[in-house]
Amino acid sequence: MNILIALPGLPLLAALWFALVPGGDRRAAGWVTALAALFPVATATLVQSQRLEIPHLLVRGSSALVLDDAARPALLLFGALWLAAALVARSRSSGPAAIPMLLALSGASTLALADGRPLVYASMLATGYGLYAMMASESDADWRRPARALIVLLIASDLLVFEVLLHAAAYPEHGISGGVLTVLMIAIVLRSGAPPAHVWLPPALAAVSTPTAIVLAGVPAAAAFVGAGRLLPAEVSGIAGACLGLGLAGALWASAAGIAQSTPRATLGYASAASAALLLATVPLTADPAAAAWTTLALMGCCATLPVIAGQHDGPARNAAITLTLLIHGFAGAHAAAGTWAGTTAAGLAAAAVAVLATLLLTLAVRRTSPPRRDDGSVEASTMAIAMAGLAATGLAFLWRASLPGFASFWPVPIGITLGLVFYRWHPQGTSLRVPPGDLLVPAERTLARLITVTATQCRQRLPRMRDRLQQSLLSAWRGDAWAARIARLEYLLRAWPTTGVLVLLVAIAVALLVMR
């Protein structure tokens, strides 16, 4: 079996194994998932670039799995996050089930390697619904509301991507440009967790266990922008301004809501959303797909490190992990902003502002994450947090290798971190002020519920009545007594009509005579 087929295939086989042998031990399941997650990491690190054509796959017949410079960072990120999640999950009594984890890993691995639009689409779907399944397999019921919002956003995004693929297939001479490009970017935003489609992320992160939180903090945005890298055409300058504007607005929105949060996980949700906004403002416009992928790895790797840091004991290792995470996130964001928007001052400043806001929120989330009690913490968490920060550092190193950093790649970092610390002093953990993390969730839910109620009333009452009437009339077509009644009515009508008509005529004549007199 080719190694590129094995990457998505191995987790699927493992999932099949767990389906065949139900009721397995969580520890064993955790180890198997960790091994399956280690495979993408090893492949990205050790295997040379290659391409595997898969003819006759899906509808276009031109799909392939490609291990190239853009695929490696995505494989590293997905593999590392699932590895960390699986290692954490194996020592806990609650958390995501193994099968959804493996299915989502299979989808994410395919997404990292996919070439050919339908295959990219299919793997985006598998990743998205796999993440939903991971949330849904949590034993705590608080995941329901955010998961509902996620599924609605995913479906909306899927439909838009489908529309884009159709358009590209129906009018190949036009390609993806103009309005279609805008539709595609909307689809990417909807599934990335970037504002305004972030409504599910903070409550979800607050509700799920640490393993799922590791994955949710990094994967939705990473998967969306890895997919965007595969779907977007090389030239997207037409929507550059819109991306930057939306990214800036999103980062501001996330910052305003994130600062007002009281729980570390909800703050992390807004930090992830702000990082997704930063990716939106920079990644689609990056000319080098590999650099875009390394940026994604660095930023989202840092976000995903936070749930692991929450399990670290206070001490030098924790401090090192926090410092590394904040610096790498800051440098990667600032470098991406500077590299993408080097040409114009105003745009450059706006992009740098997005980077500052994202770093600010991550700093705030870190500060609000207090270390565990001595007996709750995990020794492994220290190693794992350092390893994940190291992974993000790799992303930054490759980013810097692709284009050397300048002053613009540094100055937003201290500002972002300092502002984060200032806001923490101003609004530390545990204050009573709290913005509902759902933002748009409640009004959207209310509107939808009203719509469903109205439709249900129509369906349950009026339509069945109409159907029954129609059925009665159809059935009566075969009943003699119904025909007899019908004919009797007709006969009565026919007999009555002339009589009534003559009577009316007589009355009319009488009235006319009276009037004449």
Partner 1 sequence: MTPNAWLPVAILASSLLPGLVIFTLPEKAVVLRTTLNLGGAIVKILLLVLMMVGVFHGVVFEFRVPLVPGIDFALHADALSLLFVNLSAVLWLATTIYAIGYLEGSPHRSRFFGYFSLCVTATVGLAMAGNLLTFLVFYEALTLTTYPLVVHRESEVARRAGRLYLTYTLLGGVLLLTGTVWLYSLTGTLEFVDRGFVSELGLDPAVLRAIFAVLILGVGVKAALVPLHGWLPRAMVAPAPVSALLHAVAVVKAGAFGIVRIVYDVFGVEFSAALGVTLPLAILAAITIVYGSVRALFQDNLKRRLAFSTVSQVSYITLGVAIAGPIATIGGLVHLVHQGFMKITLFFCAGNYAEAAGVHKVSELAGIGRRMPWTTAAFTLAAVGMIGLPPMAGFVSKWFLALGGLEVHQNWVPLLLLGSSVLNAAYFLPIIRTAWFDPPPDHWPVEARPGRLEAPLALLAPPLATAAAALLWGLFATVPGTPLDWVQLIAARKYGQ
Query: Which residues sit at the interface with partner 1, rule CB under 8 A?
Result: 19, 22, 55-61, 118, 121-122, 125, 133, 136-137, 151, 155, 158-159, 162-163, 166-167, 169-171, 455-456, 459-460, 463, 467, 470-471, 474-475, 477-478
Residue 239 to residue 285: CA distance in whole angstroms: 9
Length reported for the chain = 517
Q: Tokens at residue 346, please?
A: 């105003």
DSSP, res 142: G
409 touches 297 (CB < 8 A): no
> 117 or 318, CB closer to partner 1?
117
Taking the CB of residue 356, how many other CB atoms lie within 10 A of it? 28
Shortest separation between residue 210's beta carbon and partner 1, angstroms:
20
Q: In sequence order, what are the residues at sequence separation of 6 or more whose Cβ sits closer than 8 angstroms to the Cβ of residue 380?
A: 87, 88, 91
> 13 or 256, CB closer to partner 1?
13
Q: Is the peptide bond before 55 cis (omega within 30 degrees of 0)?
A: no
Shortest separation between residue 488's beta carbon and partner 1, angstroms:
22
Q: Which amino acid is at 373?
A: R
> 92 or 167, CB closer to partner 1?
167
Residue 25 to residue 90: CA distance in whole angstroms: 9
> 70 or 150, CB closer to partner 1?
150
Shortest separation between residue 138's beta carbon and partner 1, angstroms:
9
Shortest separation between residue 239's beta carbon and partner 1, angstroms:
22
Shortest separation between residue 179's beta carbon and partner 1, angstroms:
13
Angstrom CA distances, 241 to 174, 245, 282, 344, 517, stand at 22, 6, 11, 11, 88
> 216 or 246, CB closer to partner 1?
216
Residue 485 to residue 489: CA distance in whole angstroms: 6
> 134 or 328, CB closer to partner 1?
134
> 61 or 501, CB closer to partner 1?
61
Query: Torsion over CA of 317, 323, 326 and 328, rounded to 10 degrees?
Result: -90
Shortest separation between residue 220's beta carbon and partner 1, angstroms:
18
Q: In sequence order, what are the residues at sequence separation of 6 or more whose Cβ sits closer than 8 angstroms to the Cβ of residue 95?
A: 26, 88, 89, 138, 209, 210, 211, 212
> 46 or 477, CB closer to partner 1?
477
> 475 or 512, CB closer to partner 1?
475
Shortest separation between residue 146's beta carbon and partner 1, angstroms:
14
Residue 219 to residue 40: CA distance in whole angstroms: 15
Q: What are phi and psi of 50, to 5 degrees?
A: -160, 170
Residue 321 to residue 384: CA distance in whole angstroms: 9
Residue 360 to residue 352: CA distance in whole angstroms: 12
> 56 or 373, CB closer to partner 1?
56
Residue 246's nearest CA partner among 218, 273, 219 is: 273
Shortest separation between residue 471's beta carbon and partner 1, angstroms:
5
Shortest separation between residue 280's beta carbon and partner 1, angstroms:
24
Beta bridge partner(s), residue 67: 50
Shortest separation between residue 33's beta carbon and partner 1, angstroms:
18
